[in-house]
Chains A and B, each alone.
Chain A
Amino acid sequence: MRKVYLDHAGTTPLNPEVYSLMCEFMKNTFGNPSSIHSFGREAKKWVDKARRQVAELIGAEAGEIIFTSGGTEADNLAIIGAAAARRKKGNHIITSSIEHPAVLNTCKHLAKNGFDVTFLPVDHYGLVEPEQLRREIRPETILISIMHANNEIGTIEPVKEIAAVAREHGVLFHTDAVQSAGKIPVDVNALGVDLLTLSSHKIYGPKGVGALYKRKKVRLHPVVFGGGQEGNARSGTENTIGIVGFGKAAEIAARDLDSEFERTGKLRDKLIRGIEERISDVRYNGHPERRLPHIVNFSFSYVEGESMLLSLDMKGIAASSGSACSSSALKPSHVLTAIGLPYELVHGSLRMTLGRMNDEADIDYVLDVLPGIIAKLRSFSPLANKLTV
């Protein structure tokens, strides 16, 4: 049976070039980068190179990259670290209602511990409105965190405009760029951000490693204490193997960004067009233009998401859904709820995310299989009023 992986926003397979380099590194180099001796210096050389590679992907300097255990830890460090460092200035934080849980739940944690958090609503495309954000800024506002692009619907936020508003008011600005980095150009100086989160396994690097970009002179309190590694921002002996892989993955992502953007974008457009042509009562979730090249999200009326995922999986197609039944927390997607979808359409959502594992034949196969699956599930749906036969 054909296998089609449409969950690249969930995670990606290791790039073979990354794999080879990691193997070479772990076979020969085991030193602790903090050690003075030759073993340590050799390991440090590799980590330094990876730091430059990651910095280059986002137009930063190597010294502005803090390696972490992943995107979630980088988000935690940015938000908790900045909030703690600026506590004397104020206690107000602004974020959006469609952030990744790594940001959302970190902010909620702070809200329970003396901070005041504003969760901005979004419009029905998932966009934050910069002028609305400006109106929420108070003298005690110390941090704004708005994601670069949304992981469920692919909408690209006006981060440059928001960063300008933040700067105007002397407020620190963080963005989670886990889904956008390596997919669209991300330049920390062009965007004007102070803090930016990256993850390795979304760009064909290994899991368990990520990074926080921290603009020079921005002060953060650490959240992990110990030996003072990573400029004292993140203690703990570096995950050298992971970092080496992340560096290589970042280098490849930068190298292939333009060609993959175009190739993936074409597949996305074909998939969207095909679904709209072949299936009735569908709703495209996201922005028609301000969007990532690899994320496609549709709601199919009258059918439930987990049933769709199971049916697709039996045909070898891997996707995801915002339905409550398909989440481990049994909660419907907060993103789809925030853009104003009724519950029925949140449960009936299907996210298909493209990447290097996909070609045109994959899209043809999905377009061949999906209409039948939807028709079958609708045939016994009590919500599909007299859609029978």
Chain B
Amino acid sequence: MYNETVMDHFQNPRNVGEIDDASGVGEIGNVVCGDILRVYIKVKDETLDDVKYMTFGCGAAVASGSMLTTLAKGKTIEEAKKLTNKDVAKALGGLPAHKLHCSNLAADALHKAIDDWLSKTGKGDKPDGEK
């Protein structure tokens, strides 16, 4: 069902955990559908100095959180905003079709974490066209 890359990230998830003094936190999903993914970011000089995640979810959710945090780490805020769920799935070498819409939401959680940081720092006042 899952390819080797996905299984590797499921078995050895990168960047799991919480950031105690996170600059921003974003959460996506709900218990009804069965997947919850929370992303923590630490911003330094407009760059993602650290990214961690926690998840209650299936193999695809665990792996997409792992890949998303791997991709996002070290990126500037502007670069990170452009990361999409599609990028994550692609970097994982693909996910089963029925998992794409429900368990591949890590980038959305990252964007929420960035929004959280922007609003906390007062930088998010300007309208942000991107979702």
- Chain A interface residues (CB < 8 Å from chain B): 302-307, 310, 314, 323-326, 328, 330, 332, 342-344, 347, 379-383, 388
With A and B bound together, what is the CA distance between A310 and B6 in angstroms?
12
Question: CB-nearest residue of chain A relative to B6?
Answer: A310
Identify B35's interface contact among A325, A342, A380, CB under 8 A. Answer: A325
A380 and B17 contact, CB distance less than 8 A: yes
A383 and B18 contact, CB distance less than 8 A: no
Identify B16's interface contact among A303, A310, A325, A380, CB under 8 A. Answer: A380
The smallest C-beta distance from B34 to any residue of chain A, in angstroms, reads: 4
CB-defined contacts of B98 to chain A, threshold 8 Å: 328, 330
A310 and B31 contact, CB distance less than 8 A: no
The 9 nearest A-B residue pairs measured at CB: A325-B58, A306-B58, A380-B16, A382-B54, A324-B34, A347-B34, A343-B31, A382-B38, A310-B59
B33 and A324 contact, CB distance less than 8 A: yes
A382 and B36 contact, CB distance less than 8 A: yes
Given known contacts A306-B58, A344-B31, A347-B31, what 14 new A-B pairs fall within 8 Å (CB)?
A: A306-B59, A310-B2, A323-B58, A325-B57, A325-B58, A325-B102, A326-B58, A332-B34, A347-B34, A379-B16, A380-B54, A381-B55, A382-B55, A383-B56
Question: CB-nearest residue of chain A relative to B53?
Answer: A380
Q: Mark B32-67, 1 if CB is under 8 A from A, else 0.
A: 111111100000000000000111111111100000
Q: Mark B77-112, 1 if CB is under 8 A from A, else 0.
A: 000000000000000000000110011000000000
- Chain B interface residues (CB < 8 Å from chain A): 2, 7, 10-11, 13, 16-18, 27, 31-38, 53-62, 98-99, 102-103
CB-defined contacts of A332 to chain B, threshold 8 Å: 34
CB-defined contacts of A328 to chain B, threshold 8 Å: 98
With A and B bound together, what is the CA distance between A388 and B57 in angstroms?
17
A382 and B58 contact, CB distance less than 8 A: no
Identify A304's interface contact among B16, B32, B56, B99, CB under 8 A. Answer: B56
CB-defined contacts of A314 to chain B, threshold 8 Å: 11
Question: CB-nearest residue of chain A relative to B15?
Answer: A380
With A and B bound together, what is the CA distance between A306 and B59 in angstroms?
7
B34 and A307 contact, CB distance less than 8 A: no
Main secondary structure of the interface of B (DSSP, over half): mixed
The smallest C-beta distance from B25 to any residue of chain A, in angstroms, reads: 10
Question: CB-nearest residue of chain A relative to B38?
Answer: A382
B36 and A383 contact, CB distance less than 8 A: yes
Question: CB-nearest residue of chain B relative to A324?
Answer: B34
CB-defined contacts of B13 to chain A, threshold 8 Å: 380
With A and B bound together, what is the CA distance between A382 and B18 in angstroms?
9
With A and B bound together, what is the CA distance between A125 and B109 in angstroms?
38
With A and B bound together, what is the CA distance between A347 and B33 in angstroms?
9
With A and B bound together, what is the CA distance between A379 and B53 in angstroms?
11
In this complex, the member of B18, B59, B61 whose beta carbon has the largest number of chain A beta carbons within 10 angstroms is B59
In this complex, the member of A325, A342, A388 whose beta carbon has the largest number of chain B beta carbons within 10 angstroms is A325
The smallest C-beta distance from A341 to any residue of chain B, in angstroms, reads: 11
Q: List 30 A-B contacts (CB under 8 A).
A: A302-B56, A303-B56, A304-B56, A304-B58, A304-B61, A307-B57, A307-B58, A307-B62, A310-B7, A310-B10, A310-B59, A323-B34, A325-B35, A325-B61, A325-B99, A328-B98, A330-B98, A332-B34, A342-B31, A343-B31, A347-B56, A380-B55, A380-B62, A381-B54, A381-B55, A382-B36, A382-B54, A383-B36, A383-B56, A388-B18
With A and B bound together, what is the CA distance between A332 and B34 in angstroms?
8
The smallest C-beta distance from B50 to any residue of chain A, in angstroms, reads: 15
With A and B bound together, what is the CA distance between A330 and B101 in angstroms?
11
With A and B bound together, what is the CA distance between A366 and B35 in angstroms?
26
CB-defined contacts of B99 to chain A, threshold 8 Å: 325
The smallest C-beta distance from B24 to any residue of chain A, in angstroms, reads: 15
CB-defined contacts of A342 to chain B, threshold 8 Å: 31
CB-defined contacts of A304 to chain B, threshold 8 Å: 34-35, 56-58, 61
The smallest C-beta distance from B23 to any residue of chain A, in angstroms, reads: 18
